[in-house]
């Protein structure tokens, strides 16, 4: 399988639940990203990992916890979320040293917090 794969595609969770989003890339890229996409708003960068080290944490609440065990896998652990956290969560990867190649995005996880 090629590209960036995200699971699950849809997730409904209660505010007291704990769940995890998974992202896997098969492109040999060395940087991975979590973005939040809400309606009519720009994509919001949440976290960046380069060579498995977190290099960006964009003032994201602690109820979101990323994990990057290796350069091909990225997780976003969720706990005690709020209804306003409902959104499409996108994972992306890039070859960090090559600025002009852009990002490859996954299809996202549609999260609904009830």
Partner 1 sequence: QQQVKQSPQSLIVQKGGISIINCAYENTAFDYFPWYQQFPGKGPALLIAIRPDVSEKKEGRFTISFNKSAKQFSLHIMDSQPGDSATYFCAASSGGFKTIFGAGTRLFVKA
Q: Is 23 in the site for partner 1 (CB under 8 A)?
A: no
Give least dist CB 58 to partner 1, A. 9
Residues 58-87 that bind partner 1 (CB under 8 A): none
Alpha carbon of residue 102 to chain centroid: 16
Q: Is 90 in the site for partner 1 (CB under 8 A)?
A: yes
Pairing of strands 10-13, 109-113: parallel
Give least dist CB 103 to partner 1, A. 7
Q: Is 4 in the site for partner 1 (CB under 8 A)?
A: yes
Do the Cβ atoms of 36 and 46 come closer than 8 Å? Answer: yes
- Distance between CA atoms of residues 51 and 75, nearest Å: 15
Q: Which residue has 């290099």 as its token pair?
A: 55
Smaller CB separation from partner 1, 17 or 45? 45
What element of type H or E holds 68? strand 64-70
Residues that bind partner 1 (CB under 8 A): 4, 6, 31, 33, 40-43, 45, 48, 50, 55-56, 90, 92, 94, 96, 99-100, 102-108
């Amino acid at each position: 399988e090629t590209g960036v794969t995200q699971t699950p595609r849809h997730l409904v969770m209660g505010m007291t639940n704990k769940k995890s989003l998974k992202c896997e890339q098969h492109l040999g890229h060395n940087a991975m990203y979590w973005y939040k996409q809400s309606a009519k708003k720009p994509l919001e960068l949440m976290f960046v990992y380069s060579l498995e080290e977190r290099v960006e944490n964009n003032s994201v609440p602690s109820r979101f916890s990323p994990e990057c065990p290796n350069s091909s896998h990225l997780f976003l652990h969720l706990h005690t979320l709020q209804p306003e956290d409902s959104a499409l969560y996108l994972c992306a990867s890039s070859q960090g040293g090559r600025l002009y190649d852009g990002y490859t995005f996954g299809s996202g996880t549609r999260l609904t917090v009830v």
